[in-house]
A and B are shown apart, each in its own frame.
Chain A
Amino acid sequence: MVQPLNRFRETPSQTAGPYVHIGMTPNFCGIEGAYAQDLGALMVNGKTQGERITVRARVFDGTGTPLRDALIEIWQADAAGLYNSPSEMRGAADPNFSGWGRKATDMESGECIFETIRPGRVPFRDGRMQAPHISFWIVARGINLGLHTRMYFPEEEAANAADPLLARIEHRSRVPTLIAARADDGAYVFDIHLQGEHETVFLDV
Protein backbone atom coordinates (compact mmCIF):
# COMPACT_ATOMS: atom_id res chain seq x y z
CA MET A 1 0.00 0.00 0.00
CA VAL A 2 1.00 3.57 -0.61
CA GLN A 3 -0.51 6.79 0.61
CA PRO A 4 -3.57 7.92 -1.34
CA LEU A 5 -3.14 11.00 -3.54
CA ASN A 6 -6.54 12.32 -2.43
CA ARG A 7 -7.29 13.80 -5.81
CA PHE A 8 -10.77 14.30 -7.17
CA ARG A 9 -11.89 13.75 -10.73
CA GLU A 10 -13.26 16.57 -12.85
CA THR A 11 -17.05 16.72 -13.07
CA PRO A 12 -17.97 15.15 -16.41
CA SER A 13 -19.25 17.48 -19.10
CA GLN A 14 -22.74 17.18 -20.56
CA THR A 15 -24.06 18.90 -23.68
CA ALA A 16 -25.30 22.49 -23.41
CA GLY A 17 -28.43 21.32 -25.21
CA PRO A 18 -30.84 23.29 -27.42
CA TYR A 19 -31.96 25.61 -24.61
CA VAL A 20 -28.53 26.93 -23.65
CA HIS A 21 -29.78 30.46 -24.34
CA ILE A 22 -32.14 30.38 -21.37
CA GLY A 23 -29.25 30.25 -18.95
CA MET A 24 -26.47 32.02 -20.82
CA THR A 25 -28.10 34.59 -23.14
CA PRO A 26 -31.65 34.94 -21.75
CA ASN A 27 -32.31 38.30 -23.38
CA PHE A 28 -31.34 36.82 -26.77
CA CYS A 29 -34.11 34.22 -26.44
CA GLY A 30 -36.79 36.57 -25.14
CA ILE A 31 -36.47 36.09 -21.38
CA GLU A 32 -36.24 39.75 -20.54
CA GLY A 33 -36.11 41.28 -17.11
CA ALA A 34 -34.10 38.57 -15.38
CA TYR A 35 -30.74 40.25 -16.22
CA ALA A 36 -30.21 43.81 -17.43
CA GLN A 37 -28.17 42.52 -20.38
CA ASP A 38 -26.64 39.26 -21.53
CA LEU A 39 -23.23 38.64 -20.01
CA GLY A 40 -20.40 39.05 -22.50
CA ALA A 41 -22.53 40.91 -25.04
CA LEU A 42 -20.28 44.00 -24.94
CA MET A 43 -16.51 43.64 -24.92
CA VAL A 44 -15.45 47.22 -25.61
CA ASN A 45 -16.51 50.71 -24.58
CA GLY A 46 -15.54 54.21 -25.73
CA LYS A 47 -12.32 54.19 -23.70
CA THR A 48 -10.98 50.80 -24.80
CA GLN A 49 -7.43 50.99 -26.17
CA GLY A 50 -6.63 49.46 -29.54
CA GLU A 51 -7.86 48.94 -33.07
CA ARG A 52 -11.54 48.02 -33.30
CA ILE A 53 -12.21 44.84 -35.27
CA THR A 54 -15.29 42.81 -36.11
CA VAL A 55 -15.23 39.01 -36.08
CA ARG A 56 -18.04 37.06 -37.72
CA ALA A 57 -18.09 33.38 -36.79
CA ARG A 58 -20.10 30.36 -37.91
CA VAL A 59 -19.96 26.69 -36.96
CA PHE A 60 -20.73 24.02 -39.59
CA ASP A 61 -21.77 20.42 -39.05
CA GLY A 62 -20.69 17.42 -41.13
CA THR A 63 -23.18 18.25 -43.91
CA GLY A 64 -22.00 21.84 -44.19
CA THR A 65 -25.08 23.22 -42.45
CA PRO A 66 -24.41 26.10 -40.05
CA LEU A 67 -25.40 25.46 -36.42
CA ARG A 68 -28.21 27.78 -35.47
CA ASP A 69 -28.21 26.75 -31.82
CA ALA A 70 -24.53 27.05 -30.90
CA LEU A 71 -23.00 29.32 -28.30
CA ILE A 72 -19.49 30.72 -28.67
CA GLU A 73 -17.26 32.35 -26.07
CA ILE A 74 -14.03 34.09 -26.97
CA TRP A 75 -11.08 35.09 -24.79
CA GLN A 76 -8.22 37.32 -25.85
CA ALA A 77 -5.49 39.67 -24.71
CA ASP A 78 -5.84 43.45 -24.79
CA ALA A 79 -4.03 45.66 -27.28
CA ALA A 80 -0.86 45.52 -25.17
CA GLY A 81 -0.89 41.72 -24.91
CA LEU A 82 -2.24 41.48 -21.35
CA TYR A 83 -5.18 39.41 -20.13
CA ASN A 84 -7.85 40.95 -17.91
CA SER A 85 -7.58 38.15 -15.35
CA PRO A 86 -6.37 37.74 -11.76
CA SER A 87 -3.88 35.13 -13.05
CA GLU A 88 -2.22 37.73 -15.30
CA MET A 89 0.95 38.61 -13.35
CA ARG A 90 2.80 40.60 -16.02
CA GLY A 91 0.90 43.83 -15.54
CA ALA A 92 -2.53 45.42 -15.41
CA ALA A 93 -4.67 44.94 -18.49
CA ASP A 94 -6.80 47.72 -19.98
CA PRO A 95 -9.66 48.12 -17.45
CA ASN A 96 -11.95 49.12 -20.32
CA PHE A 97 -11.54 45.80 -22.10
CA SER A 98 -12.93 42.60 -20.62
CA GLY A 99 -11.18 40.30 -23.10
CA TRP A 100 -14.15 37.93 -22.92
CA GLY A 101 -17.20 37.77 -25.14
CA ARG A 102 -20.18 35.47 -25.51
CA LYS A 103 -22.62 35.20 -28.41
CA ALA A 104 -25.29 32.78 -29.52
CA THR A 105 -25.28 31.98 -33.22
CA ASP A 106 -28.24 33.51 -35.05
CA MET A 107 -31.28 31.22 -35.10
CA GLU A 108 -31.68 31.80 -38.88
CA SER A 109 -28.24 32.47 -40.39
CA GLY A 110 -26.07 30.68 -37.85
CA GLU A 111 -23.73 33.67 -37.67
CA CYS A 112 -22.55 35.51 -34.57
CA ILE A 113 -20.69 38.79 -34.46
CA PHE A 114 -18.07 39.94 -31.96
CA GLU A 115 -17.11 43.61 -31.79
CA THR A 116 -13.68 43.59 -30.20
CA ILE A 117 -10.10 44.85 -30.67
CA ARG A 118 -7.02 43.45 -32.29
CA PRO A 119 -5.18 41.50 -29.56
CA GLY A 120 -1.53 42.11 -28.73
CA ARG A 121 1.00 39.29 -28.69
CA VAL A 122 1.52 37.10 -25.63
CA PRO A 123 4.43 34.76 -24.83
CA PHE A 124 4.54 31.00 -25.17
CA ARG A 125 5.77 28.95 -22.21
CA ASP A 126 9.38 29.25 -23.30
CA GLY A 127 9.24 33.01 -23.82
CA ARG A 128 8.88 33.01 -27.61
CA MET A 129 6.07 35.29 -28.72
CA GLN A 130 2.88 33.73 -30.05
CA ALA A 131 1.15 35.21 -33.05
CA PRO A 132 -1.90 37.35 -32.18
CA HIS A 133 -4.86 35.06 -31.61
CA ILE A 134 -8.33 34.81 -30.12
CA SER A 135 -9.40 31.70 -28.19
CA PHE A 136 -12.76 30.18 -29.10
CA TRP A 137 -14.89 27.83 -26.98
CA ILE A 138 -17.88 26.26 -28.71
CA VAL A 139 -20.83 24.49 -27.08
CA ALA A 140 -24.11 23.30 -28.59
CA ARG A 141 -26.66 20.54 -28.70
CA GLY A 142 -24.82 17.43 -29.87
CA ILE A 143 -21.42 18.58 -28.53
CA ASN A 144 -20.67 16.53 -25.42
CA LEU A 145 -17.56 18.43 -24.31
CA GLY A 146 -16.98 22.10 -25.19
CA LEU A 147 -14.53 22.53 -28.07
CA HIS A 148 -11.47 24.77 -27.79
CA THR A 149 -9.78 26.29 -30.80
CA ARG A 150 -8.04 29.52 -31.81
CA MET A 151 -8.45 32.14 -34.52
CA TYR A 152 -5.33 33.70 -36.05
CA PHE A 153 -5.10 36.73 -38.38
CA PRO A 154 -4.46 36.35 -42.13
CA GLU A 155 -2.15 39.36 -42.54
CA GLU A 156 0.21 38.21 -39.76
CA GLU A 157 2.10 35.92 -42.09
CA ALA A 158 5.49 36.20 -40.41
CA ALA A 159 4.12 35.87 -36.88
CA ASN A 160 1.92 32.95 -37.87
CA ALA A 161 4.87 31.19 -39.50
CA ALA A 162 6.79 31.45 -36.22
CA ASP A 163 3.88 30.64 -33.91
CA PRO A 164 4.70 27.72 -31.56
CA LEU A 165 1.15 26.31 -31.59
CA LEU A 166 0.70 26.49 -35.36
CA ALA A 167 4.14 24.88 -35.73
CA ARG A 168 2.88 21.85 -33.80
CA ILE A 169 0.26 20.99 -36.42
CA GLU A 170 1.62 17.93 -38.19
CA HIS A 171 -0.54 18.15 -41.29
CA ARG A 172 0.31 21.57 -42.70
CA SER A 173 -2.76 21.54 -44.93
CA ARG A 174 -4.83 21.95 -41.74
CA VAL A 175 -3.11 25.15 -40.55
CA PRO A 176 -5.42 27.42 -42.61
CA THR A 177 -8.42 26.11 -40.64
CA LEU A 178 -7.24 28.36 -37.78
CA ILE A 179 -6.69 31.48 -39.88
CA ALA A 180 -9.60 33.84 -40.44
CA ALA A 181 -10.49 35.29 -43.83
CA ARG A 182 -10.98 39.02 -44.38
CA ALA A 183 -14.24 40.15 -45.91
CA ASP A 184 -14.63 43.14 -48.23
CA ASP A 185 -16.05 45.21 -45.39
CA GLY A 186 -12.90 44.60 -43.33
CA ALA A 187 -14.47 42.13 -40.89
CA TYR A 188 -12.72 38.91 -40.06
CA VAL A 189 -14.68 35.79 -40.96
CA PHE A 190 -13.93 32.64 -38.99
CA ASP A 191 -15.72 29.50 -40.14
CA ILE A 192 -15.42 26.53 -37.81
CA HIS A 193 -15.99 23.08 -39.33
CA LEU A 194 -16.81 20.27 -36.92
CA GLN A 195 -16.16 17.54 -39.48
CA GLY A 196 -15.10 16.89 -43.05
CA GLU A 197 -12.35 17.92 -45.39
CA HIS A 198 -11.95 21.30 -43.69
CA GLU A 199 -12.35 20.09 -40.10
CA THR A 200 -10.98 22.77 -37.79
CA VAL A 201 -8.02 21.89 -35.60
CA PHE A 202 -9.50 21.58 -32.10
CA LEU A 203 -7.31 21.77 -29.03
CA ASP A 204 -6.84 19.56 -26.00
CA VAL A 205 -5.56 22.30 -23.71
Chain B
Amino acid sequence: MDADPLSNRRPETGAFFQRDLGWHAPAFTPGYKTSVLRSPQKALLSLDNTITEITGPVFGHNILGELDNDLIHNFARPGESAIGPRIIVHGRVIDERGRGVPNVLLEFWQANAGGRYRHRKEGYLAALDPNFGGCGRTITDEDGNYAFRTVQPGPYPWPNGVNDWRPAHIHFSVFGHGFAQRLITQMYFEGDPMIWQCPIVRTIPDHAAIETLIAALDRQATIPMDARAYKFDIVLRGRRSSMFENRMEGN
Protein backbone atom coordinates (compact mmCIF):
# COMPACT_ATOMS: atom_id res chain seq x y z
CA MET B 1 0.00 0.00 0.00
CA ASP B 2 2.35 2.77 -1.09
CA ALA B 3 2.44 5.61 -3.56
CA ASP B 4 4.08 5.38 -6.95
CA PRO B 5 7.78 4.84 -6.14
CA LEU B 6 8.78 6.52 -9.41
CA SER B 7 7.12 9.80 -8.50
CA ASN B 8 9.22 12.79 -7.49
CA ARG B 9 6.29 14.55 -5.88
CA ARG B 10 6.66 15.09 -2.17
CA PRO B 11 3.70 13.90 -0.15
CA GLU B 12 1.57 16.76 1.11
CA THR B 13 0.87 17.02 4.81
CA GLY B 14 -1.40 20.05 5.16
CA ALA B 15 -4.86 20.02 6.71
CA PHE B 16 -7.80 19.94 4.30
CA PHE B 17 -9.92 22.95 3.50
CA GLN B 18 -13.08 23.14 5.56
CA ARG B 19 -15.83 21.14 3.93
CA ASP B 20 -18.73 23.28 2.61
CA LEU B 21 -21.65 21.44 4.18
CA GLY B 22 -24.14 23.78 2.51
CA TRP B 23 -22.95 22.58 -0.90
CA HIS B 24 -23.49 18.92 -0.01
CA ALA B 25 -26.92 17.46 0.70
CA PRO B 26 -28.02 17.90 4.31
CA ALA B 27 -28.41 14.67 6.30
CA PHE B 28 -32.19 15.04 6.77
CA THR B 29 -33.91 15.06 3.36
CA PRO B 30 -37.50 13.81 3.80
CA GLY B 31 -38.08 13.54 0.03
CA TYR B 32 -35.60 10.66 0.21
CA LYS B 33 -37.43 8.70 2.88
CA THR B 34 -34.64 6.45 4.09
CA SER B 35 -32.71 9.51 5.27
CA VAL B 36 -35.38 10.35 7.86
CA LEU B 37 -34.30 7.75 10.42
CA ARG B 38 -30.65 7.66 9.35
CA SER B 39 -29.77 11.34 9.67
CA PRO B 40 -27.88 12.63 12.72
CA GLN B 41 -29.88 15.36 14.43
CA LYS B 42 -27.21 16.91 16.58
CA ALA B 43 -24.53 19.30 15.37
CA LEU B 44 -21.29 17.77 14.11
CA LEU B 45 -18.16 18.41 16.16
CA SER B 46 -15.93 20.53 13.92
CA LEU B 47 -12.22 19.96 14.31
CA ASP B 48 -9.18 21.05 12.35
CA ASN B 49 -7.49 17.96 10.95
CA THR B 50 -5.01 16.01 13.03
CA ILE B 51 -2.59 13.52 11.52
CA THR B 52 -5.39 10.94 11.77
CA GLU B 53 -7.41 12.74 9.08
CA ILE B 54 -4.48 14.13 7.08
CA THR B 55 -3.14 10.65 6.38
CA GLY B 56 -5.00 7.92 4.57
CA PRO B 57 -4.47 4.71 2.66
CA VAL B 58 -2.99 5.08 -0.83
CA PHE B 59 -3.04 2.12 -3.17
CA GLY B 60 -0.47 1.00 -5.71
CA HIS B 61 -1.29 0.04 -9.28
CA ASN B 62 -0.19 -3.49 -8.39
CA ILE B 63 -3.57 -4.22 -6.77
CA LEU B 64 -5.29 -3.91 -10.15
CA GLY B 65 -6.16 -6.82 -12.40
CA GLU B 66 -6.01 -6.57 -16.16
CA LEU B 67 -9.79 -6.30 -16.60
CA ASP B 68 -10.62 -4.27 -13.50
CA ASN B 69 -11.36 -1.17 -15.61
CA ASP B 70 -13.40 -3.08 -18.22
CA LEU B 71 -16.92 -3.86 -16.99
CA ILE B 72 -17.83 -5.14 -20.44
CA HIS B 73 -15.48 -8.09 -19.95
CA ASN B 74 -14.53 -8.47 -16.26
CA PHE B 75 -17.51 -10.73 -15.48
CA ALA B 76 -18.15 -12.12 -18.95
CA ARG B 77 -17.57 -15.68 -20.10
CA PRO B 78 -14.52 -16.07 -22.36
CA GLY B 79 -15.26 -14.66 -25.80
CA GLU B 80 -18.49 -12.98 -24.68
CA SER B 81 -19.29 -9.48 -23.50
CA ALA B 82 -21.95 -7.53 -21.61
CA ILE B 83 -25.05 -6.33 -23.47
CA GLY B 84 -25.77 -2.63 -23.79
CA PRO B 85 -24.54 0.64 -25.28
CA ARG B 86 -20.75 0.52 -25.10
CA ILE B 87 -19.23 3.60 -23.47
CA ILE B 88 -15.95 4.88 -22.12
CA VAL B 89 -16.06 6.98 -18.96
CA HIS B 90 -12.98 9.11 -18.47
CA GLY B 91 -11.94 12.22 -16.63
CA ARG B 92 -9.56 13.72 -14.15
CA VAL B 93 -9.47 13.81 -10.37
CA ILE B 94 -8.35 17.24 -9.17
CA ASP B 95 -8.53 18.95 -5.81
CA GLU B 96 -10.12 22.28 -4.94
CA ARG B 97 -6.87 24.02 -5.93
CA GLY B 98 -7.11 22.53 -9.41
CA ARG B 99 -4.16 20.17 -8.97
CA GLY B 100 -4.40 16.71 -10.49
CA VAL B 101 -4.43 14.02 -7.80
CA PRO B 102 -2.34 10.95 -8.68
CA ASN B 103 -2.78 7.45 -7.25
CA VAL B 104 -6.46 7.90 -6.46
CA LEU B 105 -8.32 4.59 -6.21
CA LEU B 106 -11.69 4.86 -7.93
CA GLU B 107 -14.24 2.07 -7.49
CA PHE B 108 -17.47 2.09 -9.47
CA TRP B 109 -20.66 0.06 -9.56
CA GLN B 110 -23.83 0.20 -11.57
CA ALA B 111 -26.95 -1.54 -12.86
CA ASN B 112 -26.84 -3.32 -16.20
CA ALA B 113 -28.25 -1.87 -19.42
CA GLY B 114 -31.76 -2.93 -18.36
CA GLY B 115 -31.51 -1.18 -14.99
CA ARG B 116 -30.98 -4.39 -12.97
CA TYR B 117 -28.33 -4.80 -10.26
CA ARG B 118 -26.63 -8.10 -9.52
CA HIS B 119 -27.57 -8.15 -5.82
CA ARG B 120 -29.77 -10.30 -3.58
CA LYS B 121 -31.69 -7.26 -2.34
CA GLU B 122 -32.62 -6.30 -5.90
CA GLY B 123 -36.27 -6.88 -6.81
CA TYR B 124 -36.68 -5.24 -10.22
CA LEU B 125 -38.13 -7.54 -12.86
CA ALA B 126 -35.66 -6.49 -15.58
CA ALA B 127 -33.39 -9.33 -16.69
CA LEU B 128 -29.91 -10.03 -15.36
CA ASP B 129 -27.16 -10.10 -17.95
CA PRO B 130 -25.10 -13.26 -17.33
CA ASN B 131 -22.04 -11.43 -18.67
CA PHE B 132 -22.32 -8.33 -16.48
CA GLY B 133 -21.21 -8.11 -12.84
CA GLY B 134 -21.39 -4.35 -12.42
CA CYS B 135 -18.19 -3.51 -10.52
CA GLY B 136 -14.87 -2.07 -11.62
CA ARG B 137 -11.95 -0.04 -10.37
CA THR B 138 -8.92 1.91 -11.51
CA ILE B 139 -6.21 4.24 -10.15
CA THR B 140 -5.42 7.69 -11.50
CA ASP B 141 -2.15 8.35 -13.29
CA GLU B 142 0.47 10.95 -12.36
CA ASP B 143 -1.76 13.77 -13.62
CA GLY B 144 -4.99 12.50 -12.06
CA ASN B 145 -6.45 10.98 -15.22
CA TYR B 146 -8.56 7.82 -15.30
CA ALA B 147 -10.70 5.87 -17.77
CA PHE B 148 -12.79 2.72 -17.87
CA ARG B 149 -15.06 0.81 -20.23
CA THR B 150 -18.61 -0.19 -19.44
CA VAL B 151 -22.13 -0.34 -20.82
CA GLN B 152 -24.50 2.54 -20.20
CA PRO B 153 -26.74 1.56 -17.26
CA GLY B 154 -30.51 1.74 -17.53
CA PRO B 155 -32.90 3.74 -15.32
CA TYR B 156 -34.96 1.76 -12.81
CA PRO B 157 -37.86 2.14 -10.38
CA TRP B 158 -37.27 2.10 -6.63
CA PRO B 159 -39.46 2.06 -3.55
CA ASN B 160 -39.75 5.61 -2.22
CA GLY B 161 -42.81 7.26 -3.73
CA VAL B 162 -45.13 4.83 -5.55
CA ASN B 163 -43.62 5.75 -8.91
CA ASP B 164 -40.10 7.06 -8.33
CA TRP B 165 -37.34 6.21 -10.79
CA ARG B 166 -33.60 6.59 -10.62
CA PRO B 167 -32.01 8.21 -13.65
CA ALA B 168 -29.22 6.20 -15.27
CA HIS B 169 -26.17 6.58 -13.05
CA ILE B 170 -22.81 5.11 -12.04
CA HIS B 171 -21.73 5.06 -8.38
CA PHE B 172 -18.18 6.20 -7.58
CA SER B 173 -16.11 5.67 -4.44
CA VAL B 174 -13.04 7.93 -4.36
CA PHE B 175 -9.95 7.83 -2.14
CA GLY B 176 -7.75 10.90 -1.95
CA HIS B 177 -4.52 10.94 0.02
CA GLY B 178 -6.16 11.69 3.38
CA PHE B 179 -9.01 9.91 5.14
CA ALA B 180 -10.88 13.23 5.38
CA GLN B 181 -11.12 13.32 1.56
CA ARG B 182 -13.07 10.07 1.40
CA LEU B 183 -16.02 10.53 -0.95
CA ILE B 184 -18.87 8.57 -2.51
CA THR B 185 -20.93 10.09 -5.28
CA GLN B 186 -22.96 9.27 -8.40
CA MET B 187 -22.42 10.24 -12.03
CA TYR B 188 -25.36 11.04 -14.33
CA PHE B 189 -25.56 11.35 -18.12
CA GLU B 190 -25.98 14.52 -20.16
CA GLY B 191 -29.44 15.07 -21.54
CA ASP B 192 -31.35 12.75 -19.18
CA PRO B 193 -34.59 14.50 -18.14
CA MET B 194 -35.04 12.07 -15.25
CA ILE B 195 -32.11 13.57 -13.34
CA TRP B 196 -34.21 16.50 -12.18
CA GLN B 197 -37.11 14.30 -11.07
CA CYS B 198 -35.06 12.07 -8.76
CA PRO B 199 -35.53 12.44 -4.98
CA ILE B 200 -31.93 11.34 -4.34
CA VAL B 201 -30.51 13.89 -6.79
CA ARG B 202 -32.75 16.51 -5.24
CA THR B 203 -31.24 16.00 -1.78
CA ILE B 204 -28.56 18.39 -3.09
CA PRO B 205 -29.92 21.90 -2.61
CA ASP B 206 -27.85 23.78 -5.20
CA HIS B 207 -28.68 23.42 -8.92
CA ALA B 208 -25.08 24.21 -9.84
CA ALA B 209 -23.84 21.46 -7.52
CA ILE B 210 -26.08 18.90 -9.23
CA GLU B 211 -24.75 19.98 -12.63
CA THR B 212 -21.24 18.98 -11.54
CA LEU B 213 -22.50 15.38 -11.31
CA ILE B 214 -23.64 15.25 -14.95
CA ALA B 215 -21.05 13.80 -17.32
CA ALA B 216 -20.79 15.40 -20.74
CA LEU B 217 -20.96 13.39 -23.95
CA ASP B 218 -17.41 13.68 -25.26
CA ARG B 219 -17.42 13.09 -29.01
CA GLN B 220 -13.67 13.73 -29.30
CA ALA B 221 -12.92 10.81 -26.99
CA THR B 222 -15.36 8.51 -28.75
CA ILE B 223 -13.78 5.47 -30.39
CA PRO B 224 -15.18 5.18 -33.93
CA MET B 225 -17.21 2.01 -34.55
CA ASP B 226 -16.72 0.95 -30.90
CA ALA B 227 -17.82 3.15 -27.99
CA ARG B 228 -19.11 6.61 -27.18
CA ALA B 229 -17.37 8.53 -24.39
CA TYR B 230 -18.53 10.53 -21.38
CA LYS B 231 -16.24 12.84 -19.41
CA PHE B 232 -16.62 13.04 -15.65
CA ASP B 233 -14.17 15.09 -13.59
CA ILE B 234 -14.11 14.74 -9.81
CA VAL B 235 -13.00 17.39 -7.31
CA LEU B 236 -11.61 16.35 -3.92
CA ARG B 237 -10.98 18.64 -0.98
CA GLY B 238 -7.89 20.80 -1.29
CA ARG B 239 -5.36 21.20 1.48
CA ARG B 240 -3.30 23.88 3.12
CA SER B 241 0.43 24.11 2.60
CA SER B 242 1.62 22.39 5.76
CA MET B 243 0.23 20.85 8.90
CA PHE B 244 2.88 22.75 10.85
CA GLU B 245 1.79 26.21 9.74
CA ASN B 246 0.34 27.08 13.14
CA ARG B 247 3.32 25.90 15.16
CA MET B 248 4.19 28.31 17.88
CA GLU B 249 7.78 28.58 16.68
CA GLY B 250 6.56 29.45 13.18
CA ASN B 251 7.81 28.07 9.91
B104, chain A: closest CB distance, angstroms? 12
Q: On chain A, which size bracket covers the interface? A: 35 or more
B219 at the interface (CB under 8 A from A): no
Are A10 and B20 in contact (CB-based, < 8 A)? yes
- Comparing B31-39, B80-88, B221-229, the segment that makes contact with chain A is B31-39
Identity of the chain B residue whose Cβ is nearest the Cβ of A75 in the assembled complex: B179
Interface centre among A6, A75, A137, A194 (most CB of B within 10 A): A75
A47 adjacent to chain B (CB < 8 Å): no
Which of A118-126, A154-162, A182-190 touches B? A118-126
A-B pair count, CB < 8 Å, reads 276
Complex CA gap A14/B57 in Å reads 22
How far in angstroms is the closest Cβ of chain A from B41? 6
Kindly state whether residue A168 has any CB partner on chain B within 8 Å: yes
Q: Return chain A residues, CB-CB under 8 Å to B45.
A: 165, 168-169, 201-204
Q: Given the complex, which residues of B lie within 8 Å of A10, measured CB to CB?
A: 19-20, 23-24, 96, 183, 235-237
Q: Flag if A14 contacts B37 (CB, 8 Å).
A: no
Q: Do B236 and A203 touch (CB < 8 A)?
A: no
Q: Which residue of A lies closest to B103 (CB)?
A: A86
Interface residues on B, range: 35 or more
Given contacts A31-B135, A34-B135, A125-B48, contact A14 B185 (CB under 8 A): yes
- Determine whether the beta carbon of A8 is less than 8 Å from that of B38: no
Given A75-B179, A135-B52, A146-B182: 4 more A-B contacts, CB < 8 Å? A8-B96, A14-B204, A137-B179, A144-B27
Binding site for A on B (CB under 8 A): 1-3, 11-13, 19-21, 23-27, 29, 32, 34-42, 44-59, 63, 65, 68, 74-75, 94-98, 107-110, 117-122, 133-137, 171, 173-174, 177-180, 182-186, 200-201, 203-204, 209-210, 212-213, 234-238, 243, 246, 248
A-B residue pairs, 10 tightest by C-beta: A23-B109, A142-B34, A85-B55, A142-B38, A204-B44, A144-B25, A62-B37, A100-B57, A83-B55, A86-B11
Residue ranges of A at the interface with B (Cβ–Cβ < 8 Å): 6-24, 26, 29-31, 33-36, 39, 61-63, 67, 69, 73, 75, 77, 83-89, 98-100, 107, 122-126, 130, 133, 135, 137, 139-148, 150, 165, 168-169, 174, 194-195, 199-205
